[in-house]
């Protein structure tokens, strides 16, 4: 009897670990072309992508924003450098203000990075300053 219980616990644990890994792969596939969407300034497609990830995986933008890097930049930085105003303002509006003020992977906040790059005239920068 004890052998059956141990075996079933091992099977249950391995099944759970496999399903979590499979779900992580599915999320990565779902978010695979999000950088292309941001660079193309396709607001409608980004909304659809965000909606599908939220309904399929119960994740909001703030949950996966920091894990996405487009050529070493965050999504908002990518939008600013590609002059993707519609997508950039949508991303700024959807992110919590405390996350917008927090330092990113390189230790700089969005505002500091914008000032360093000389992009204060960007409409996305104006939206960001209005939110913080």
Q: How many whole angstroms separate alpha carbon 100 and alpha carbon 3?
A: 53
- Burial string for 31-51 (b: 16+ CB within 10 Å, else e) reads beebbebbbebbbebbeebbe
pTM of the model: 0.77
Burial of 59 (0-12, 13-18, 19+ CB in 10 A): middle
pLDDT digits over 2-38, tens only? Answer: 555 444 444 544 444 444 444 556 677 778 789 999 9
For position 15, what pLDDT does the model report? 46
Query: Do residue 110 and residue 60 come from a single domain?
Result: yes
Query: 14 is in which domain, residue-wise?
Result: 1-30
For position 4, what pLDDT does the model report? 54
Query: Do residue 67 and residue 118 come from a single domain?
Result: yes
Number of domains in the chain: 2
């Amino acid at each position: 009897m004890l052998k059956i219980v141990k075996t079933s616990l091992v099977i249950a644990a391995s099944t759970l670990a496999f399903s979590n890994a499979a779900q992580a792969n599915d999320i990565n596939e779902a978010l695979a072309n999000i950088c292309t969407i941001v660079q193309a300034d396709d607001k409608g497609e980004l909304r659809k992508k965000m909606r599908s990830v939220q309904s399929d995986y119960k994740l909001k933008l703030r949950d996966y924003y920091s894990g996405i890097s487009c050529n070493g930049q965050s999504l908002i930085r990518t939008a600013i450098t590609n002059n993707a105003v519609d997508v950039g303002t949508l991303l700024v509006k959807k992110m919590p203000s405390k996350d917008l003020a927090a330092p990113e992977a390189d230790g700089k906040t969005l505002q500091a990075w914008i000032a360093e790059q000389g992009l204060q005239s960007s409409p996305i920068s104006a939206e960001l300053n209005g939110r913080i």
